[in-house]
Structure 1
Amino acid sequence: MTRLYLVRHGQASFGASHYDRLSPLGERQSLLLGQHLQRTGLRADAWISGTLDRQRSTLAAMLQGLETPLSTDSHAGFNEYDHEAIFGAYLPRVMAELGLSPDDRVALFSDTRQFQTAFVRAMQHWIEGTPHERPPFETWEAFQGRLRESLEHLARSGHERIVVVTSGGPIAFAVQAALGLTTEKTFALNWTIYNASVTELRMRKGSLMLSGFNAVAHLELAGDPSLLTYR
C-alpha cells in the first residue's frame, strides 16, 4: 500500500502579470507546512512537485521548513490545467452569455463574484468541448488521462509514502477517482481546496481510498486568518 500526500501549492500571484509565482503569503504558507511536517515527524520516500513555478517553489519552501536536505523530483503529470488559456478562449462567449460587452472586461476582473461566475462557465465549456478560435490546448479528457497515468505511475513506484506538491485540479481529480464523484461535484470540490493544504490518499491494487482532505491545521495553529486562502 502506498500513502500519497497531495499538497496544493501556496497562494500564487492572482491578478498579477505573472500568475505562476508564489506570493509572499504563499511562501509563508509553504514554510509553515514544512515546519509542521518536521514537528509531526512525517517521513516520505519521495518528494515530488509538478513543474510549474508555484509548485516547485512551494516544495522548496516546505523543505526549508523541514530543515532537512532531501532530494526532490518533478513530474509534469501533476501540473494544473492551463486555466489562463481556457478562460481566454471562452471569455468572449461567456461574456456574451452573461450579457456583458467588451467594455465590461475590466470591471469583470475586478468583481470577484462575477469573475467566479464567468470562470465556472468557461470551465463548463472546456469540459463539454465547446469549439473556440484560440490555439489548441489540453482537453478535459486528456487532462483526466494524464492524471490517471501519473497516479498509476506512483502506485507502481514501490514507495510507501510519497509527497506530491500539485494544484487544485489534480487534487480534485484524485478525490473524484477515490469517491466516484460526478464532474460537477469534482469542480465544486475544486473551489474549496485551500492553498498549502494536505489531502491524503491510499493506493492499493489499483484503487484509491481517501484518508484525509484539505487539512490546514498548520495554518490554523499560526493564529492568522489571512493564511487561509483559496487563490
Structure 2
Amino acid sequence: MSRIYLVRHGQASFGSDSYDRLSPLGERQSVLLGQHLRRIGFHAETWLSGSLARQRSTLTALLQGMEAASATDFHEGFNEYDHEAILGAYLPRVMADRGLTPQELSPLLGDNRLFQAVFVQVMRHWIEGTPHERPPFETWKAFQARIHASLERLARSGQERIVVVSSGGPISLAVQAALDLSLEKTLALNWSIYNASVTELRVRQGALALAGFNNVTHLQLAGEEGLLTYR
C-alpha cells in the first residue's frame, strides 16, 4: 500500500508585489513541520514539490528542519491554478456586479472576509467557463485533469511513502477524488486548508482513500501565537 502525503506550502506573501514567495512566517511553519517529522522518525522514498517558488521553498525549509539533504525534484502537475490570471479575467466583472469601483480594490485586498466573498464569485466564473477578454489560461476542466493525472502517476509508482508539497487547490481536488465530493464541498475545503498542513492519502487497489486531512499538530505543539494561517 502506498501513502501520499500532501503538504500545503507555508504562508505566502499575499498582498505584496509577489505572492509566490514564502513570508518569514511561512518559512517558520515549514521548518517546524520538518522538525516535527524528524522527532517522530518519519521517512519517505520520494520528496517532491510543484514548481512554484512558494512550493519549492517550503520543501527546502521542511527538509532543513529535518536536517536532511535538499530535494530538487519537482513536478509541475502539482502547481496551483493561476489565481492572478483568473482574478485579472473576472475580478472587474465581479466588482461591477457588487457595485465596487476600481478605487476600492486596495481596501478590498485588506479585508479578508470581503476578498474571500469576491474571490468565491471569481472562481465561479472560472469554473463555469464564463467568457473573458484576457489571453487564454488553464481552464477549470484542464486543471482538474492535470491534478488527477498527477495523482494517478504517483499511485502507480509503487513507492511506499511519497511527500508532495503543493497548494490548496490540488489538495482539495485530491480529497474530492478520494471521497467523491460535490463541487460545493470541494470549494469549501479549498478555503479551509491551513498553510504547512499535511493531508494523507492511501492507495488501495489503485483507488485513493483519505487517511488524514489538514493536520497541523506540528504548529499547535510549537505553542507560538499566529502560526495557523490560511493564506
TM-score range, shorter-chain basis? over 0.9
Shift of 1:225: 2.8
Alignment check: 8 A CA contact 1:49 1:164 kept: yes
Describe the superposition over 1:100-146 as per-residue Cα deviations: whole angstroms up to 9, x where unpaired: 12232222222222111111100010000001111111000000000
Alignment check: 8 A CA contact 1:46 1:72 kept: no
Alignment check: 8 A CA contact 2:60 2:71 kept: no
SS in 2 for 1:19: coil
Structure 2 counterpart of 1:58: 58
Q: Within 1, Cα distance between the matches of 2:73 and 2:221?
A: 29
> Which residue identity lines up with residue 16 of structure 1 in the other structure?
S
Q: Within 2, Cα distance between the matches of 1:15 and 1:103?
A: 16
Structure 1 counterpart of 2:68: 68
> Which residue identity lines up with residue 10 of structure 1 in the other structure?
G
> Which residue identity lines up with residue 183 of structure 2 in the other structure?
T
Q: CA RMSD in A?
A: 1.0
For residues 187-226 of structure 1, the aligned pairs below 5 Å read: 187-226=187-226
1:24 pairs with 2:40: no
The normalised TM-score by structure 2 is 0.97
Shift of 1:91: 0.8
SS in 2 for 1:74: coil
Structure 2 counterpart of 1:15: 15
Q: Within 2, Cα distance between the matches of 1:36 and 1:157?
A: 26
> Which residue identity lines up with residue 148 of structure 2 in the other structure?
R
Change in Cα spacing, 1:5 to 1:96, as seen in structure 2 (3 Å) is same
Structure 2 counterpart of 1:129: 129
Change in Cα spacing, 1:105 to 1:69, as seen in structure 2 (3 Å) is closer
Change in Cα spacing, 1:101 to 1:216, as seen in structure 2 (3 Å) is same
Structure 1 counterpart of 2:95: 95
Gaps of 5+ in 1: none
The normalised TM-score by structure 1 is 0.97
SS in 1 for 2:222: coil
- Deviating runs (4+, > 3 A) in structure 1? none
Shift of 1:216: 0.4
